[in-house]
Amino acid sequence: MKEIGAADSSQHSALSSQHFDAIVKVSGFVKRYKKHVAVDGVDLTVRKGEIYGLIGPDGSGKSSLMKAIAGVLTYDGGAVEVFGTKVDSERAAERIKPKLGFLPQGLGLNLYPELSIEENIDFFAHLRLVPAKDLIERKARLLAMTRLERFRDRAMKHLSGGMKQKLGLICTLIHEPELAILDEPTTGVDPVSRREFWLILANLIQEKGMTVLVSTAYMDEAERFHRLSFLSGGKVLASGMPTEVQALVPGSMVTFEATPQLEAIARLKKSFRQVESLGPLLHVFTGTADQSEARLQIEAALGDLVPAAVRVDQPELEDVFVALLLRNNEHKETSGRPPTSAAAHNHDGVAIEAEGLIREFGTFRAVDGVSFQVKQGEIFGLLGANGAGKTTVIKMLNGILLPTAGAGLVAGADMRTAAGTIKQRIGYMSQAFSLYLDLTVEENIRLFAGIYGLDKRSMTKRYQWIVTMAGLSGYESSLTGQLPMGVRQRLALGCALVHSPRVLFLDEPTSGVDPIGRRHFWEILSKLAREEGVAILITTHYMSEAEHCDNLALMYAGRIVAEGSPADMKRQVEKEAGRLFEVVADQPGKALVYLQQAGFHGAALFGTKLHIFCRDPVRDKACACRALEESGLHVTSVSERPLSLEDVFVYRVMSLEQAERVPGQEVAV
C-alpha cells in the first residue's frame, strides 16, 4: 500500500524525458455514502502526458475517485488538487472544468440517442464554446481517426457499442482538454473495438500532449497504462508502473498438462493458492521467480503424476492482482466442494448439436449457417463482437426463437418442435444475472425451484447443494441486491442449476465481477463439466476467460469464422501471421509510426511497449530494430510473448474486416 511510482520512476526512460508536472494530486481521499465507506484514504499523482490507470472490480471506489477529480462529486476527507487548484468548492470545480473532459461510465450515457453523430459532436463543441473554425478541423480529424465519418448522419441510438464509445470519446475531447478522465470506457465493448479505442487514445496523447486518467475492470488492459493504481475495497493495493507492480509479487506461472486433472488440482491446492484449470492445461502461480525452482516445486507437489508440456512464464498482471488480493486476505469466502450428485451421469454423448442454423430478421441475416457440436462435459466458448449473432444463436438453441432454417438438438430434444422440453432440461444464466434483487437468496432459489416444478423433498436437497456449491451459507436471508457481485453471480448460477440440467447456457456471465470472484466461478464451472458431465456453452468478452474453454468458435457477421481449442486457434494464427514480439524502445509513439512504415502493419502500442507480428522471427526482428535505430530511436529490448486469445480474436476480426471493407456494410446493433 505504498506509493512506489513516485520514488523510483526516474530510472525509467520512457517518461523521464518529459517534465514531472503533477496534473492531479490526490491525498488521503475519503468518500462515504451514508455509512458505507466507498474510498478510504487513497493517494494518487497523475503526471503530465501519461495514461494513468485505475484498475479494480465494481465497487472498488474507482468511479467515486474519478468523479471527485472531475469536480462533480463532493468528498469527505483528504485533498484533491487538479492543475494546482484545490477542488474543494463548487467555484474551484468550475475553474478547472474548462481544462478537462469527463466521460462517465456507461455506454453512450453522456450522448443523446436521438441526435446524429455530428449533432452530438456539435452540441458538445457549442457547449464548450469551441470556435467554428476549430470545430470543423477537429471534427474532421477525430471522425477520420475513429473511422466514424461514414456514419456522421446516423442517430446515436443506432450505433454499436464500440461506435458509441468512440463517439463518447470524441465528444469528451472536442474542446481539447488538457486532462481527460475516462470512467471504464471499454466495459462491454468487444476486444477489437477495445483495442481500437486504446490506439486512438494513444495517438491523441502523442499528438496533443494530453493527460489521461482512465479506469477499467479488465485486468489485461493494465499493461496499456504508463502507471496505474490497483484498487480494491476503496483502498490502493498497489501502484506504480506495470513492471513495478509486477515486481511486488515475485513469482512465476507454470503451465502444464497433468492427468487425471482433478486429482492433480487437489494435490496442487495443498501447496499453492492460485491453481487454475484452462481446458486441458493447469496454470499455477508459484512464489519463486527462479524458473527451474518453480518447476521443481510443481513436480514435488504433483508426486507421482508427471507434468507434460511444461512452460514457465513471468506472471501476468492479473496473476499479480490475484496474489495481492489473496495476500490482503480480503476474500474469506469459503466454498465447500460441491457434493457430487449421487446419480451416475452419462459423460459421453452430444449435448448440443447445431446444424446450418440460419435466422433472418426481415432482410437482415443475423445468423448465417452456424454448425457446431458440444459434448457432455465440455466447456464450449462462443466468441464474437456485439452483433456477431451469438445471442441469436443462444436464443434459438433455448427454444425462444425459431430458426429460419437449419436444425438443432439440445439435451436430446429438437429445438423446432420441443421447445418446452428443452426449457425443462437446460439451465440459463444471463449477463444481468437475472435475479430478483428485492428477494432474499433463499426466496430466489425457492422461486426457481418452484418454476422448474421441484417437489418439496428434492427442493430441500437441491437447496443445500446450491448453498454449498456457491458458498452462500450465511447469506441465505440477505437481500440479493445487497450482495457483492461475485456472490450474486454464484447465486445466479445456482438458480440456473436448481433442476440439475445437463446443459448450461451462460451469456456473458462474469461482467463486473472481481478477478478472484471470476476464478472462483470458473472453478465451479470446471467441476460441473469434469465431475458431473454438464455441457456448458458460454459467451464472454473477457478473452482471458476464453482460455478456460475446451473448444471455441469465433463468430463474425453471423458466421463461424474460426474454431478449435484455444491452443489450436493460436497455432492457426501463428501460422498465418507469425509470432508475437514485444519491443521496448524510446518514444513509443514515434516508434509505432516507424514500424508501420517499415511494413509491420499489425504493430500496436501497449502503454510504453509495442507489439509486432514476425513471420520470420530472426529476419523480422532485425528488420524492426534496424528501422528504429536508423530513425535514431534506441531499442531497449525485443522479446517473444505468448500469443493471447485476444490477439487471436483481434487478428481474425481485423483481417475479415479488411477483406470485406465495402462502404455502408458495417452493421450497427
Partner 1 sequence: MNDRDDIEAGTLRVWALRLFVMTRKELLQLKRDVPLLLFLIYSFSLSVYISGAGISMQLNNASLLVHDGDHSASSRELIHRFRPPYFRFDGEVEDQKVGVQRLDQGTAMLLLDIPPRFHESIVGREPVSVQLQVDTTNAPQGLSAAAYAARIVGEFSFDLASFRLGGASGGLMDMPRVESAHRVWYNQNQDETWFQSISHILRMITLFAFLLPAAALVREKEHGTVEQLLVSPVTPFQIMLSKVLAMTLVILAATALAMASVLKPVFGVPIKGSAPLFFLMTALYSFTTAGLGLFAATVARNQAQVGMMALLGISPMLLLSGIATPFEAMPPWVQTLMALSPLRYFVDVTYGILLKGVGFDVLWDSMLAMALLGGTMFGLGMWRFRRQLE
Q: Binding residue for partner 1 (CB under 8 A) from 75, 124, 452, 522?
A: 452
Question: 240 has which bridge partners?
Answer: 228
Is-contact 371 356, C-beta < 8 A? yes
Alpha-carbon radius of gyration of the chain = 25
Q: Binding residue for partner 1 (CB under 8 A) from 248, 358, 447, 668?
A: 447
Which has the closest alpha carbon to 101: 133, 134, 66?
Answer: 66
Q: Residue 336 has what DSSP assignment?
A: P
- Binding segment (CB under 8 A) for partner 1, from list 22-30, 316-324, 428-436, 511-519: 428-436
Q: Virtual CA dihedral for 247, 251, 255, 260, nearest 10 degrees? A: -150
Q: Binding residue for partner 1 (CB under 8 A) from 98, 209, 339, 453?
A: 453
Q: Is 669 in the site for partner 1 (CB under 8 A)?
A: no
Distance CA 7, CA 11 (A): 10
Q: Is 443 in the site for partner 1 (CB under 8 A)?
A: yes
CB of 148 to partner 1, least distance (A): 26
Is-contact 123 112, C-beta < 8 A? yes
Q: Is 439 in the site for partner 1 (CB under 8 A)?
A: yes
Q: Is 113 in the site for partner 1 (CB under 8 A)?
A: no
Q: Is 400 in the site for partner 1 (CB under 8 A)?
A: yes
Secondary structure class of 568 (helix, strand, coil): helix
Is-contact 159 112, C-beta < 8 A? no
CB of 198 to partner 1, least distance (A): 29
- Binding segment (CB under 8 A) for partner 1, from list 47-55, 138-146, 227-235, 394-402: 394-402
For the beta carbon of residue 112, count every other beta carbon within 10 angstroms: 15
Distance CA 447, CA 575 (A): 51
CB of 418 to partner 1, least distance (A): 7
Q: Which is nearer to partner 1, 372 or 505 (CB)?
A: 505
Distance CA 650, CA 647 (A): 5
Distance CA 558, CA 392 (A): 9
Q: Is 335 in the site for partner 1 (CB under 8 A)?
A: no
Q: Binding residue for partner 1 (CB under 8 A) from 110, 404, 421, 458?
A: 421
CB of 499 to partner 1, least distance (A): 9
CB of 430 to partner 1, least distance (A): 6
| Count of residues of this chain found to bind partner 1 when the rule CB under 8 A is applied | 33
Q: How far is CA 248 from CA 57, 244, 251, 317, in A?
A: 20, 7, 9, 11
CB of 97 to partner 1, least distance (A): 29
Q: Binding residue for partner 1 (CB under 8 A) from 113, 356, 450, 599?
A: 450
CB of 489 to partner 1, least distance (A): 14
CB of 453 to partner 1, least distance (A): 4
In sign, the C-alpha dihedral spanning 326, 331, 334, 335 is negative
- Binding segment (CB under 8 A) for partner 1, from list 2-10, 253-261, 424-432, 543-551: 424-432
In sign, the C-alpha dihedral spanning 188, 189, 190, 194 is negative
Secondary structure class of 558 (helix, strand, coil): coil
Q: Binding residue for partner 1 (CB under 8 A) from 215, 216, 398, 489?
A: 398
Interface residues with partner 1 (CB under 8 A) are 398-401, 418-421, 423-424, 426, 428-432, 434-439, 443, 446-453, 479, 505
